[in-house]
Amino acid sequence: MKKHPIFYLIMTLGFIFVTSCSQSTYDDIEADDEPIPDVVTYLDIKPAIDNNCLNCHSNPPQNGAPMSLMNYDNVVEAVLNRELLDRISRNEGEDGMMPLGGARLPQATIDLIFQWEEDGLLEN
Ligand code: HEC
């Protein structure tokens, strides 16, 4: 059976509608400047640790660092027993500030890690 031209028109409009919706949703996500998630988990803070701490806190640790921060258990242990939150909060140039010898983390990143602790140090 031959389909009426209107059928093709509706299909085309429908296709454009669907793709334009998903397009703008994607743009919205892209435009967002790393919003703070409702519940912060290890997965949200891992990139910051990986990028700023693993030069030294690798496994095995380098440059005199006393422990690794490679995985969830390591980082939780450092928050609970090694004052990680205090270390990243110190002022640049202050003794013991982490990342050692580097720039202080952006305040938004520090806030995110504090939020992770407040939310219960969830893994994911
Ligand atoms: C350039 C190397 C280097 C980098 C990068 C670095 N650290 Fe360290 N870190 C050290 C060294 C060396 C020590 C031991 C000396 C001290 O306690 O200050 C240390 C100690 C620590 C301690 C205290 C450990 C203890 O047992 O008391 C914590 C917590 C810590 N680092 C967290 C971090 C975090 C979080 C980052 C990333 C934001 C980071 N470090 C980046 C070298 C580094």
Using alpha carbons, list the distances in angstroms from residue 88 to 26, 27, 108, 121. Answer: 33, 33, 12, 16
Name residues contacting ligand 1 (CB within 6 A): 52-53, 55-57, 63-67, 78, 82-84, 87-88, 96, 98-102, 105
Between 30 and 2, whose confidence is greater? Answer: 2
Indicate the average pLDDT of the chain.
88
pLDDT at 113: 98
Between 3 and 46, whose confidence is greater? Answer: 46
Q: Which long-range contacts (CB under 8 A, 24 or more apart) does 30-38 make?
A: 34/108, 36/111, 36/112, 36/115
29 pLDDT higher than 70: no
101: burial class by Cβ within 10 Å (0-12, 13-18, 19+)? exposed
Task: Give the Cα separation of 94 and 64 in Å (integer).
Answer: 18
Residues 50-107: tens digit of each pLDDT? 999 999 999 999 999 999 999 999 999 999 999 999 999 999 989 999 999 999 999 9
pLDDT at 114: 98
Of all protein residues, the one whose alpha carbon is nearest to atom 15 of ligand 1 is 65
